[in-house]
C-alpha cells in the first residue's frame, strides 16, 4: 500500500478484454482505482489470459499494493441448433417444436441438443430463448421432443441461448471446458475463481474440492434455484457475485433488486464478500458519461453495503474503460462521504458472531469509533479475522497485515487495505508487534504521530484462525 492507494471502502472489479488488455491500459486502470481484475474465460484463449495475468502482476509492482485476479468460468451454455434458411420469426400463440433431430430447423421446429432439458421439464414449464427475449411454454412432450406454445414471440437466430427457470436441470456447474479452464487458472496463480450457473450447494462443494484452498470460490447468483438455497450456498462459498444479467433473464425483472438486497444482507451476515455485477454503467460502453439511473444503481449498491461493484463490457470491450473506472470511483467516493451512508452502515450491522473473533471485531468497532482511531490493524495468516472485522463495517480503515496470497484475496473485501509482511513466528508476545505495526501504518500514510491504532492479533502469534487479542497503540 502506498500514498496513491485509494481510501475507498467499496472495491472495484474491472473485466479485461479487447479494449483493456494492453499492459499500458492495465496499469492505467490499476492506477485509476481497480482492486480486482476479472479474466472472463467465456472469451479469449489461455495464452491471452496468461498475458493479462502477467501484465496485472507487473502493474501490481508499479502501484505498490496487492491486486486480486478473478478467473470467471463460463459454465454450461445451453443453446438451440441451426436453421436451414437463417433466422425465423416466432409469433405469439403459434406451436413450435424443440427436438433432438440435428437436421437444420425451420419455422416449425429446431434442434435442442440437450436431452437433459427434455427429460427434466414438464408440461407448463417455460423455456426462455435469447436472454429471455422470447418465451415458450411446454404443452406436451415425448422422449425426444417438446411441443411448445410461443408466449412471447420475436426473431430467433441459430445457436441462441436457452434458459430453463422452472426446474433444476441435471447438469453439472462445471463442464469439461470449465474444468480445463479451472486447472489452467489455478496454474497461473489466480486469487479468485467465479463459478457460473450454480443451482445447488453441491456445485460449490465440488469447486472447493478442486480448488483445495488455492483460490477463493466466488459463487455467481444467476439461477432461481440458487436463490432458493441462498443461505447454504453462501455458507459453502468464499464470496458471492450477484450476476444480475442472467439472474434477470430467469427471474421477473422486479424481483432482481429485491434479490440483490437480500443477497448482500445474507452474505454480510455470514461474513462473505459480495460483488454486485452486470450493467452497472452499461451506457459507458459507447458513451463517456453514464445515465443518471446507472449512477443511482451503483450508489444504491454502495448504500446497501456491498463489498465491490463490477464493470463488465464497460471495461472489457467499451470505448471508455478508463473513464468507466474513474466514474465508478467518483460515485463510490461520493456516497461514502454521505453521513446517511455511514448511518446506514451502522444501522445494518449484523448480529455479532458468537465467537472470540466475532466478539473482538465488535469490540474493535466500539473502541475504534470511541477513540476515533486512525486505523484498525489486523495481523492475520488466513484472512478470516480481517473479514470478521470488515463485516462490522467499522468507521476506521482496516489495515490487513498478512502474507502475499491472502493480501491479494483481501483486495475484494470492504474497507480492507492489505499490506504484505513477513509472517514469521518470531514475535513471542503481542507487545512485540507494537513497533512494527505502528511503523507500517505510519509509512503507508494511514496514521500520524499522536493518533491511535487498534491492533488485533492472535496468540500464539502466527497461527491461522487464532485472533484473540485487542491492543491500543499510540503512534
What is the full DSSP assignment across 326-391?
HHHHHHHHHHHT-HHHHHHHHHTPPPPPSSHHHHHHHHHHHHHHHHT-SEEEEE-SSSHHHHHHHH
Q: Tens digit of pLDDT for each residue in 114-133?
A: 999 999 999 999 999 999 99
Work out the pLDDT band at 286, boundaries 50, 70, 90: very high
Averaged over 292-297, what is the pLDDT?
Answer: 98
Judge whether residue 254 has pLDDT over 50. Answer: yes
Band (pLDDT 50/70/90 cuts) for residue 4 is very low
- List pLDDT tens digits, range 325-378: 999 999 999 999 999 999 999 999 999 888 999 999 999 999 999 999 999 999
Catalytic residue numbers? 38, 79, 220, 278
What is the pLDDT at residue 468?
Answer: 83
Asked if 361 contacts 470 with a C-beta cutoff of 8 angstroms, the reply is no
Q: Which of 183, 164, 319, 176 is nearest to 250 (CA)?
A: 164
**What does the pLDDT read at residue 429?**
65
Domain 88-163 belongs to what architecture? Answer: Beta Barrel (2.40)
Task: Pick one of 3.40.50.300, 1.10.10.10, 3.10.180.10, 3.40.1380.20 as the CATH number of 356-474.
Answer: 3.40.1380.20
State the pLDDT at residue 464: 59
75/80 Cα distance (integer angstroms): 16
DSSP H/E element including 243: strand 239-243
Grid cell of 365 as nine digits: 468497532
Concatenating the DSSP letter of every residue in 97-137 gives EEES--S-B-SSEEE---HHHHHH--TT-EEEETTTTEEEE
Q: Band of the pLDDT at 461, cuts 50, 70, 90? A: low
pLDDT attached to residue 214: 98
pLDDT at position 440 over 90:
no
CA-to-CA distance for 404 and 208, rounded, in angstroms?
A: 21
Tell me: the pLDDT tens digits for 376-433? 999 999 999 999 999 999 999 999 999 999 999 999 999 999 999 987 655 556 677 8
Q: What is the mean pLDDT of the chain?
A: 94
**CATH code of the region 11-76+173-337:** 3.20.20.60
In the numeric block, which cell numbers belong to residue 184?
A: 489452467
- What residue ranges do the domains of the chain occupy? 11-76+173-337, 88-163, 356-474
Q: 255 CB contacts (<8 Å, ≥6 apart)?
A: none
Please give the average per-residue pLDDT across 212-222, as a whole number. 98
CA distances 205 to 213, 216, 242, 328, Å, are 12, 12, 19, 33
238 — phi, psi (to 5°)? -90, -25
Alpha helices for 175-320 (secondary structure H): 176-188, 201-211, 224-228, 230-236, 244-250, 255-269, 292-303, 313-316
Q: Return the pLDDT at 219.
A: 98
pLDDT at residue 268 is higher than 70? yes
pLDDT reported for residue 48: 98
Closest of 48, 2, 3 to residue 26, by C-alpha: 48
Q: How far is CA 295 from the centre of its chain?
A: 19
Three cell numbers written together for 238? 468464499
Amino acid at each position: 500500500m502506498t500514498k496513491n492507494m485509494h481510501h475507498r471502502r467499496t472495491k472495484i472489479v474491472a473485466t479485461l478484454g479487447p479494449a483493456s488488455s494492453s499492459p499500458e491500459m492495465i496499469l492505467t486502470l490499476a492506477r485509476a482505482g481497480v482492486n480486482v481484475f476479472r479474466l472472463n474465460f467465456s472469451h479469449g484463449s489461455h495464452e491471452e489470459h496468461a498475458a493479462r495475468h502477467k501484465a496485472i502482476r507487473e502493474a501490481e509492482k508499479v502501484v505498490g499494493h496487492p491486486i486480486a485476479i478473478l478467473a470467471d468460468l463460463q459454465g454450461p451454455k445451453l443453446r438451440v441448433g441451426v436453421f436451414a434458411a437463417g433466422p425465423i420469426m416466432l409469433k405469439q400463440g403459434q406451436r413450435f417444436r424443440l427436438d433432438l433431430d440435428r437436421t437444420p430447423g425451420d419455422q416449425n421446429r429446431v434442434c435442442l441438443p440437450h436431452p437433459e432439458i427434455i427429460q427434466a421439464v414438464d408440461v407448463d414449464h417455460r423455456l426462455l430463448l435469447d436472454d429471455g427475449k422470447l418465451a415458450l411454454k411446454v404443452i406436451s412432450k415425448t422422449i425426444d421432443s417438446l411441443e411448445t406454445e410461443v408466449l412471447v414471440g420475436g426473431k430467433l437466430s441459430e445457436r441462441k441461448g436457452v434458459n430453463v427457470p422452472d426446474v433444476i436441470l441435471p447438469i453439472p456447474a462445471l463442464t469439461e471446458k470449465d474444468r480445463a479452464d479451472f486447472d489452467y487458472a489455478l496454474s497461473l496463480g489466480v486469487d479468485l475463481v467465479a463459478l457460473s450457473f450454480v443451482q445447488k450447494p453441491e456445485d460449490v462443494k465440488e469447486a472447493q474440492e478442486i480448488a483445495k484452498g488455492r483460490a477463493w470460490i466466488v459463487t455467481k447468483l444467476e439461477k432461481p434455484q440458487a436463490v432458493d438455497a441462498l443461505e447454504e450456498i453462501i455458507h459453502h462459498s468464499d464470496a458471492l457475485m450477484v450476476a444480475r444479467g442472467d439472474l434477470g433473464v430467469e427471474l421477473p425483472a422486479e424481483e432482481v433488486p429485491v434479490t440483490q438486497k437480500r443477497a448482500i444482507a445474507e452474505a454480510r451476515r455470514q461474513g462473505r464478500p459480495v460483488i454486485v455485477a452486470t450493467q452497472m454503467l452499461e451506457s459507458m460502453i459507447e458513451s463517456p458519461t453514464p445515465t443518471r439511473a446507472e449512477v443511482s444503481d451503483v450508489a444504491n449498491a454502495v448504500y446497501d453495503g456491498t463489498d465491490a461493484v463490477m464493470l463488465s463490457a464497460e471495461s472489457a470491450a467499451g470505448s471508455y474503460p478508463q473513464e468507466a473506472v474513474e466514474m465508478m470511483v467518483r460515485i463510490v467516493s461520493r456516497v461514502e462521504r454521505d453521513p446517511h451512508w455511514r448511518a446506514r452502515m451502522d444501522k445494518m450491522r449484523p448480529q455479532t458472531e458468537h465467537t472470540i473473533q466475532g466478539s473482538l471485531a465488535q469490540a474493535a468497532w466500539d473502541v475504534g469509533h470511541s477513540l476515533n482511531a486512525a486505523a484498525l490493524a489486523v495481523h492475520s495468516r488466513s484472512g478470516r479475522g480481517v473479514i470478521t472485522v470488515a463485516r462490522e463495517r467499522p468507521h476506521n480503515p482496516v489495515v490487513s497485515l498478512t502474507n502475499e496470497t491472502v493480501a491479494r484475496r483481501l483486495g475484494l473485501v470492504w474497507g480492507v487495505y492489505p499490506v504484505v509482511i513477513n509472517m514469521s513466528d518470531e514475535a513471542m508476545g503481542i507487545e512485540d508487534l507494537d513497533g512494527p505495526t505502528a511503523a507500517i501504518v505510519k509509512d503507508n500514510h494511514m496514521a500520524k504521530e499522536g493518533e491511535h491504532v487498534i491492533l488485533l492479533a492472535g496468540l500464539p502469534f502466527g497461527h491461522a484462525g487464532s485472533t484473540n487479542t485487542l491492543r491500543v497503540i499510540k503512534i
